[in-house]
Amino acid sequence: MTFSRSCPSTKPLLRVLSGERVDRPPVWFMRQAGRYLPEYRDLRARKGSFLDLCYDPEAAAEATLQPIARFAMDAAILFSDILVVPHAMGQDLHFAEGEGPILAPTLDATDLDALDPRLDRLEPVYRTVALVAAALPKATALIGFAGAPWTVATYMIAGRGSRDQAAARTMAFRDPDRLQGLIDRIVDVTVTYLSGQIAAGAEAVQLFDSWAGSLSPVEFERWVIAPTAQIIGSLSALHPDIPIIGFPKGAGTRLPAYVLETGVDAIGLDETIPPEWADRLLPPEFPVQGNLDPLALLAGGGALKREAARILFTFRDRPHIFNLGHGIVPQVPIEHVEQLLAEIRA
């Protein structure tokens, strides 16, 4: 297996994803468009619900571009949500204030075939990508994304997020064939969805597997690694020059197997992964992304400087994209983001 792609681009992020080391690691943050930004809060107040914002191409493009305008990040990531895929597969979706996303009917009680797929619901997302691609600075890359099948399935089965993903994990043991059928359908729609983003202008894509850490090693192999490998195989056949970043949050010691068996071009590390351990076990030229604790960014000051310096030093000899170990939290002061970017760019 090769861990690099040819990359004629001069964009730093794409060069790193192709396996090249650059003088300064490119930087972007998960959830960099969000509530910590006053301009995002103003936009949200004007546009109403979160889902309405996701499906309004002009507004979603504005949200995507806000952190680029303010901070000159090296990459923009599409403003959307992983649950537009189950919405396109036929579940109703709404975001309840204080509760988060709600999907209905839940698939622990309803058969998937009872749903009426509406893949046209994804069209506004593609328009958002096209608008952002046309507006970005020449040196800034555009990242598309989707939820990985296991994480998306946990929401579809339970109808909402949960601390332990018990409904999906129980189905995995009690009725694995039924879960496999759901996973297979999610794989197919995800390939279509990411391919549409790429056709609209995405230059790299990321698979978010936020609940990968809830599975045992054997279940992780079946429900995280195998479907991710299917998506990457299909997507790479359609778009061989587009790099794919995997982010299996909570993978822990299963991280090397994920890298070797899925075919990802880069790996996002969450904050629980020791950088030194990852650097030692992963192939030397394999690109890594991460992995500052979001709460270190919230804390700021000396702690932020020390943590950033440790990550930068550890990954100095490999292709590295500086990022957080998960999404930026809404309470982060703008000044702390500016402090961190100054440390990285120094």
114 assigned to some structural domain: yes
For residue range 269-327, list pLDDT tens digits in order.
Answer: 999 999 999 999 999 999 999 999 999 999 999 999 999 999 999 999 999 999 999 99
For residue range 103-146, list pLDDT tens digits in order.
Answer: 999 998 888 899 999 999 999 999 999 999 999 999 999 999 99
Tell me what the pLDDT averaged over the chain comes to: 95
For residue range 197-239, list pLDDT tens digits in order.
Answer: 999 999 999 999 999 999 999 999 999 999 999 999 999 999 9
Top-confidence residue, 99 or 93: 93
222 assigned to some structural domain: yes
DSSP label of 119: G
Query: What are the E-state strand segments in 210-304?
Result: 244-248, 266-268, 288-292
Q: Return the closest-CA partner of residue 84 out of 35, 136, 125.
A: 125
| Catalytic residue set | 31, 35, 44, 81, 155
Residue 80, pLDDT score: 98
298 assigned to some structural domain: yes
What is the percent of the chain with per-residue pLDDT over 70, rounded to a whole number? Answer: 98
Question: Do 279 and 311 touch, CB atoms closer than 8 A?
Answer: no
Residue 2, pLDDT score: 41
Residue 7, pLDDT score: 58
* Encoded tokens for 149: 């099948």
What is the percent of the chain with per-residue pLDDT over 90, rounded to a whole number? Answer: 92
The residue type at 18? S
**pLDDT of residue 1 exceeding 50:** no
**pLDDT of residue 4 exceeding 60:** no
Residue 142 lies in domain: 12-345
Report DSSP letters for 174-203, one per residue. Answer: H-HHHHHHHHHHHHHHHHHHHHHHHHHT-S
162 assigned to some structural domain: yes
For residue range 155-172, list pLDDT tens digits in order.
Answer: 999 999 988 999 999 999
Residue 115, pLDDT score: 92
**pLDDT of residue 6 exceeding 60:** no
**pLDDT of residue 48 exceeding 90:** no
How many domains does the chain divide into?
A: 1
Give me the phi and psi of 94, to 5 degrees please: -150, 160
- The CATH number of whichever domain residue 28 belongs to comes to 3.20.20.210
| pTM strictly above 0.85 | yes
CA atoms within 13 A on the CB side of 316: 7
305 assigned to some structural domain: yes
CA 2 from centre of chain: 22
Residue 100, pLDDT score: 85
Residue 96, pLDDT score: 79
Confidence class of residue 9 from pLDDT cuts 50, 70 and 90? confident
6 assigned to some structural domain: no
Integer-rounded Cα Rg, in Å, for the chain is 19
Measured over all CA atoms, what is the biggest interatomic distance in the chain, rounded to whole angstroms?
56
4 assigned to some structural domain: no
151 assigned to some structural domain: yes
